Structures are given as structure tokens and as C-alpha cells.
Amino acid sequence: MPPGSILVLLLLALLLAGWLRGFSRLLLFIATISLYLLSTPWLEFELAKRLEIIPPLQNPVEQSDGERVAIVVLGGGRYSAAPEFGQDVVGQSTLERLRYAARLHRQTDFPLLVTGGVPLNEAVSEAQLMAESLRNDFLVEKVWLEEKSVNTWEHGQRVPPILKQKGVTTMILVTHASHMLRSLRVFRQSSVLGDIQIIPAPTAYTTTSVMDRGLGLWRPAAGALRGNVRFLHEWLGVLWYQLRYS
């Protein structure tokens, strides 16, 4: 992923400068243009708007007779060995998802299910960290845990059986707007989903924060580079899931 790949191009250009001067200049040009574009809010907007195509949830979901609804929050990473907390806590992306899920919970009183395991063999699952954050930071007590999945595909395989066991017929799926497209595909293609209905509830839209900037869209920024790397990672995830799991 950038900027590592760009550094490789620059290093290769330097190594070839004495033998293939024309090709070396071409690599240098490609690396420079790539770094510039990856640092612009314009590219961030273009990459995001094709991922963030699921609209936000407009109105709180109402539970009809015979229906049981639960809010499912996908894990988004942890802040490991946080010195100010003295332990692992949820990361920024996960906290953004939990904040929105807690808001939905307060509006509806639906129970919450958090999902996330131990991808690097940590002592505490991400789901447990999420549940602790919901209780301590948002005063939410109705929390179910799924603690074995380590990626989006495993979320789609391990969450539905828990929901069925709880009698849930409709799930409100909470994740980042840029991650929702892949998440919906995974859950809808899951062989264990059964008759459970999915209502997407994306959060943390990027397109609204980078639009209408005029010439500022072309001004390089460190934040745009970080966002573009994240969106490229998501696009590669979409492609990989189509090849690996479709």
C-alpha cells in the first residue's frame, strides 16, 4: 500500500539511473504524480463516493408484532496497550461505529450485538472491548458478544446463528459508510443468514467532509493521503472478496 509502493518506485528509479536513464525518469514521473494524486482531497472524494453509496438511515426502525430487531456493530480495530487506560481499548474507527449504534439503541431500545475476535492472539477480544466501551462510555447494558470472527467474511458467518438463537428476525447493521457495501454483500451471501432481514445503518461518511472545496480539492494534505490509503485498502478488499468468497 502507498506510500510504501511509491518509495519502491523511487528506489528502483535511483538504482536504474546509471543504466536505463529514460526508464528511470519514467518511474520517477509516475511516482511523483502518484504521490501527488494520493495526497489530494479530490481523489479521496472520487474513491469514497463510489464506496459510500448506501444512504444513511433516515428514521428509527419500528418493531412490528412478531418481529424482533437487534443492532449489529462490526469491529473496526483496537488501540493496543493504551498507556492512559492501562489496557487495550477500542480504536477510533470502532468508537465511531459504537457512538452511532448507541444513538440508535437510545432511540429504539433494541439490543446490541458487537462482533470481533483476537486476530493477533490478544488476551481480550475486540467484542469484549466494544462491550466495555458501550457500558462505560455510553451507558448501554444490553450487549451480546460474538468473539471469534477476525474479518468481515467471518462476521457474516458467525453473527447470524447468534441472532437466530436470540429469536432476532431483523438486524440493523452498523459500520462505516465506506465499509457498508462489502459488509452487505458478505451478509447477504452468507449461507447461514436464513430469513433474517438486514437494514443498513452506515456512519462516518467522508464525501460530505471533502465536497465543495473548490481549488482546495487539489491541495496536497496528509489527511487526504491517509484517507486515500484507507479507501484503496477497502477497494482491494472488495476485489479480493469477489475473487475469494463469491
Contact 51, 235 (CB under 8 A): yes
pLDDT bucket at 210, cuts 50 / 70 / 90 = low
User: Regarding beta strands 143-146 and 112-115, do their DSSP bridges make them parallel or antiparallel, or are they unpaired?
Assistant: parallel
* pLDDT at res. 18: 87
Across the chain, mean pLDDT equals: 93
Task: For each of the domains in the chain, give its residue range(s) and CATH number, in order of start.
Answer: 4-50+208-244 (no CATH), 69-204 (3.40.50.620)
d(CA 16, CA 30): 15
* pLDDT at res. 128: 98
* pLDDT at res. 28: 95
Beta-strand ranges (E) seen in 46-99 are 69-74, 78-82, 87-90
Q: What angle do CA 173, 124, 142 make, to 5 degrees?
A: 45
pTM, two decimal places:
0.91
Quick one: CA dihedral 144, 110, 186, 45, positive or negative?
negative
Give the largest Cα separation in the chain, rounded.
76
* pLDDT at res. 222: 93
Reported as a single tens digit per residue, the pLDDT across 44-57 is 999 999 999 999 99
Contact 22, 40 (CB under 8 A): no
pLDDT bucket at 1, cuts 50 / 70 / 90 = confident
d(CA 155, CA 113): 11
Q: Pick from 222, 144, 177, 145: which is nearest to 57 by CA?
A: 177
Ordered alpha helix ranges (H), 122-206: 126-138, 152-165, 177-189
pLDDT bucket at 79, cuts 50 / 70 / 90 = very high
For residue 119, cis peptide bond before it (omega within 30 degrees of 0): no
Q: Pick from 129, 104, 97: which is nearest to 116 by CA?
A: 129
- Cell representation of residue 16: 536504474
Reported as a single tens digit per residue, the pLDDT across 100-136 is 999 999 999 999 999 999 999 999 999 999 999 999 9
Residue 212: pLDDT above 70?
no
Reported as a single tens digit per residue, the pLDDT across 165-205 is 999 999 999 999 999 999 999 999 999 999 999 999 999 99
> Between residues 19 and 98, which one has the greater pLDDT?
98
* pLDDT at res. 241: 93
* pLDDT at res. 211: 54
How many Å is the Cα radius of gyration of the chain? 21
Contact 238, 178 (CB under 8 A): no
Average pLDDT, integer, range 14-36:
94
d(CA 110, CA 96): 19
Percent pLDDT > 90 in the chain is 86
Residue 208: pLDDT above 80?
no
